[in-house]
Amino acid sequence: MNCELMHERIVLAAYGELPDERAHELERHLTGCPDCHRERAELLALKDLADAHPVEEPTANLVARARMRLEEALDALPPKRWYERLGQRITNNFANLQAAPVAACLLLLVGAGAGGLGGYHLAQRHAAQRAAVAPAIAATRPEPVQAGIAPAEVASISSIVRQPNSDVVEVRYSQVVPQRIEGSLDDPAIRQLLMLASEDGGSAGLRDDSVGLLAAECRTGHGCQAAGIRDALMVALRYDKNAEVRRKALEGLEPYVSEDMRVRDAVLEALLNDGDARIRTAAISLLEPVEADTSVRQVLSSVANSDRNPQIRTVSRQVLSRVPEIQ
């Protein structure tokens, strides 16, 4: 049976959302597929780890930046004509239309057409409003800011340069026009810009520079607070596509594995999911000081028994062997 389909069913089954007949098919598949069986074991271990801690709400700054980026991405899309939107809606709902009664099909078609036309006019009006207020916003923006930079005011960050043998960092960023700021790594404005740069999806070089500086600050114990630099490093470790950026983020989090449960969870996720074996091996080393923790033991046991990488399995078993009571 298709393993890709089984991967979807493994997730549904883990959260109790898979129908009984599909669950039986999944169990039969797992008995003959070691890869899928291993994936389910890893997913269940990760689920148990996640269930052990409450879900935290995203910060206001993160929500604001996400909304800003979403609006910019939507505005960058070329507007579609109403009949193009109608065609797309019909295509997306074709499977449902085949199974629906005739009356429901007609109702869905009418609703899709009306929604597409209304959405087109709404998008046009929204674009016109943004174009009208843009000059006013540009006219009210201040000169280069030295402190308290609002994330919504930063359009992009173009470069990060640290002066040799100094803690002074120059960050060039753009609002309506290019801006620059210079200050110590302890400067809140510099730190805020570095955290924004760590999320710049368009430049791996900027992310590498910013995460490297933030990680160095954490390793030296210079104000690496949980709600700030530490959060930025955890985001980079979890989601950055560049392995070198993830490696630097992992190094910066090392001093906080023992004291911060959220950092520990991020490192465990890297051990389970990262695509780079070097990062996973480094994550195991970082977890050694807390190897007796229940969550750590559970993940290490799962990796030691079922991971496809023999080196990762061996290192995990070596760590587990140092704690006799969990054998």
Examine the pLDDT at 18 and tell me if it is beyond 60. yes
Q: Which helix (H) or strand (E) holds 157?
A: strand 156-162
Q: Residue 98: which pLDDT band, with cuts at 50, 70 and 90?
A: very low
Examine the pLDDT at 214 and tell me if it is beyond 70. yes
pLDDT at 244: 92
Do 151 and 65 contact (CB within 8 A), yes or no? yes
Sign of CA dihedral 67, 263, 316, 48: negative
How many Cβ atoms from other residues are within 10 Å of residue 67's Cβ? Answer: 11
Query: In the block, which residue shows the tokens 């898979």?
Result: 18
Q: pTM higher than 0.85, yes or no?
A: no
Q: Report the alpha-carbon distance of residue 228 to residue 249 in Å, rounded.
A: 13
3-state secondary structure of 53: coil
* CATH class (in words) of the domain with range 198-326: mainly alpha
pLDDT at 105: 44
CA distances to 14, 109, 182, 257 from 151, in Å: 38, 42, 17, 28
Instruction: Output the DSSP codes for 109-129.
Output: HHHHHHHHHHHHHHHHHHHHH
Who has greater pLDDT, 157 or 310? 310
User: 32-36, 58-62, 180-184, 299-303: which range is least confident on average?
Assistant: 58-62
- Looking at every residue in the chain, the average pLDDT score rounds to 74
Q: Report the alpha-carbon distance of residue 250 to residue 283 in Å, rounded.
A: 7
How many Cβ atoms from other residues are within 10 Å of residue 178's Cβ? Answer: 13
Examine the pLDDT at 145 and tell me if it is beyond 50. no
Instruction: Output the DSSP codes for 67-93.
Output: HHHHHHHHHHSPPPPHHHHHHHHHHHT
What would the pLDDT profile of 19-62 be if each residue is shown by its tens digit? 888 888 888 888 888 888 888 888 888 877 777 766 666 666 66
The structural domains of the chain, with segments of one domain joined by +, span 1-77, 79-140, 198-326
Q: Report the alpha-carbon distance of residue 170 to residue 190 in Å, rounded.
A: 8
What would the pLDDT profile of 63-95 be if each residue is shown by its tens digit? 667 777 777 777 777 666 656 666 666 665 544
